[in-house]
Structure 1
Amino acid sequence: MSMMDRLKIRHLRALVAVAEQGTLVRAADVLSITQPAVSKTLAELEGIVGRQLLERTSKGATLTAAGRVLLRHAGASLRALNEGLDSLATGQEGEAPTLLIGALPNVAATVLPPALLRFAETDPRVRISVRTGSNAQLIAALRQGVLDLLIGRLAEPADMQGLSFEQLYTESLVLVVRPQHPLAGCRNIDPELLRKHRLVLPDAGTRVREAADRFFVSSALGLPVQTIETIDIAFGRSYVLQSDAVWFVPLGAIENDLRQGTFVRLPIDTRITEGPVGLTRRVDRVPSDALDQLMEEIRQSASEWLNRAALP
């Protein structure tokens, strides 16, 4: 029996899930199976290809060189199959293009919507799928061929191999509170006062959290202890509106709320958190005409956002 005859979709799905989630436990949750079942499936896959695909450590699982090679094709194959099944399910058996876009939550809430609205007017046939998550998760999905384009922060140089980045703008994190907060309305705030309040921060290990940590270290505050970590904008918004917590959040995610007075921005200098936001693509893929057009709409939308983002 050949290698292809033995290979099953569940093998590829397990490899992609572990690569994306970083641990067998989280991969099992995503796949709705047990961790031993994930381990067994991956062991079967390694037996089929005759190579070690994963290195298991106390912190999780990382792909070997052979695993990364197989992953590039596994993600693209699963995506193509899903598109075919979707076309059959919706009765669209013609060649209707599909674009899969990854975006950080703050970008998905600001730059992306107007770009997609304009794009739909120019090419209504194209189906768009938008996926949000952390920068690391989206970079992994882009490498796997699951995404055509990522709109997010610039990744570490080691993670950019085989990828290109086009900067659209720079964005900083801001400190915001509800209008009833004791610090709301203060003209001058010593960063030391932040110690008295619980902080809502981006998830540990994300690019925006690294930016937040730079602020705390540079302010001689040390890393905060009383924290809630999330990149879920809806949760962060709801929690901070119901408490005296201070939210460290990308400006784009909270811009409309600041304009409407739902939140108050604290007058604390956070320019050290500024980081580049832009378009990340795989260099080994020539963009389609549809993707080229969408990227142009995103560039225009980013320029418009920059003009709005100069808050008083």
Structure 2
Amino acid sequence: MTYNLQQLQAFAAIVASGSLGRAADALHVTQPALSRTIRRLEEQVGAPLFERHSRGMHLTEVGAVLLPHALLLQREAEQAREEIDALRGLARGTIRVGAAGSIASLVLPLAVGRVLDKWPNLRVEIIEGVWDRLADALVRREIDLALSVAVPDSDEITAIADCRWEDASYVVAAPDHPLRRKPGLTLADTLGERWAIPPRGTGPFEQMQSVFAEHGLGLPNVVVETRSITVLKSLVARSGFLGWMAAPMYVTESKAGVFDTLGLPGVAGRRTLTAFRRRQGILPSPAVKLLEQLRQLTAEEIGVE
């Protein structure tokens, strides 16, 4: 069955807005014209896509099945337009990328800056999150590249072997934290302090737990668990908390004297980071441009350590 992109756009607009009137305004068409478009799509599908209510329009079971496919076809069409523009020398388009927090703090901004210096007409959309969020966005085609800790390939996602680098994570604390004045400081001395860290099940938490285990210690006093990088940094900088962070994540705070690595010899966690893409399909031209800069940066090891 072949679908009309205009009809799919109208369908998605109604879902996003929740009503025929708001969707018509967003698409700059009349309500009767939009209604006819959806009626033709429903005739083609062979079933109603919406239930009409006084408070708006809600998807039927058939509509709910069609929606992800409609969004996917729209994204494919947009990528095709961008690829054609690139071939015509216009170098327009959108880089869609997702990254873990430490990568989004340093390596990715450096790469984006380099890309836009060469191709200023490109746009960039970035999402930040842990691997589950990034993998889902990659499969749903919300992004074309994901930058995260190396994990095994799946049926749908594969790592890009020549874009790989390492970073190290440390215990961090504010400059005036009392532990900085303790002679002969060891990791065991941090156990009773207040800690703030990403939640259990995330890479940073598991890495911290592994480092403590290597030193024969259990978990420290984790008082706050949050995925918010802003909150984590504020707790360390302003509220006397200890944290566990990858070094690239706090380069700016370190230079500004806000917080820095706590001096614990031999206490560090290393990890391998890499870029991922969908296993099937062609990588869009804008994403290729970003990938080229990431390869150069990681080969030069600029700011990675």
What TM-score, normalized by structure 1, do the two folds share?
Answer: 0.67
Q: Which residue of 2 aligns with 1:117?
A: 113
Letter in 2 for 1:128: V
Offset, 1:149:
0.4
Verify the 8 A CA contact 1:75 1:146 in the aligned structure 2: no
Higher CA-based Rg: 2
Are 1:257 and 2:253 matched, yes or no?
Answer: yes
Offset, 1:251:
1.2
Verify the 8 A CA contact 2:148 2:274 in the aligned structure 1: yes
Where does 1:85-104 land on structure 2 (aligned, <5 Å)?
96-104=92-100
Verify the 8 A CA contact 1:74 1:144 in the aligned structure 2: no
2: distance between equivalents of 1:150 and 1:158? Answer: 13
Offset, 1:226:
3.2
Are 1:214 and 2:231 matched, yes or no?
Answer: no
Percent of aligned pairs with the same amino acid = 22
Offset, 1:221:
2.1
Are 1:199 and 2:198 matched, yes or no?
Answer: no
Are 1:239 and 2:235 matched, yes or no?
Answer: yes
Verify the 8 A CA contact 2:198 2:225 in the aligned structure 1: yes
Which residue of 164, 167, 188 maps to 2:184?
Answer: 188
SS in 2 for 1:274: strand
SS in 1 for 2:249: helix
Q: Which residue of 1 aligns with 2:61?
A: 44
Give structure 2 stretches of 5+ with no counterpart.
17-57, 81-89
| Matched residues, number | 249
Where does 1:1-312 land on structure 2 (aligned, <5 Å)?
9=12, 44-45=61-62, 73=69, 76-77=72-73, 79=75, 96-155=92-151, 157=152, 159=154, 161-166=156-161, 167-186=163-182, 188-268=184-264, 269-271=266-268, 273-304=269-300, 306-308=301-303
What TM-score, normalized by structure 2, do the two folds share?
Answer: 0.69
Letter in 2 for 1:152: S
Once the two structures are superposed, what CA deviation does each residue of 1:186-213 show, in whole Å capped at 9, x if it has no partner?
5632211112211111222222222122
Once the two structures are superposed, what CA deviation does each residue of 1:78-123 show, in whole Å capped at 9, x if it has no partner?
6458999xxxxxxxxx994222110112111101112112211222
Structure 1 stretches of 4+ moved >6 Å: 2-5, 10-13, 81-84
Letter in 2 for 1:279: A
Verify the 8 A CA contact 1:187 1:267 in the aligned structure 2: no
**Cα gap change, 1:154/1:10 in structure 2, threshold over 3 Å: closer, same or farther?**
farther
Letter in 2 for 1:236: L
**Cα gap change, 1:254/1:48 in structure 2, threshold over 3 Å: closer, same or farther?**
closer
Verify the 8 A CA contact 2:106 2:303 in the aligned structure 1: no
Q: RMSD in angstroms over aligned alpha carbons?
A: 3.5
Verify the 8 A CA contact 1:172 1:270 in the aligned structure 2: no
SS in 2 for 1:196: coil
Offset, 1:130:
0.9
SS in 2 for 1:100: strand
Give structure 1 stretches of 5+ with no counterpart.
14-39, 50-69, 85-93
**Cα gap change, 1:226/1:120 in structure 2, threshold over 3 Å: closer, same or farther?**
closer
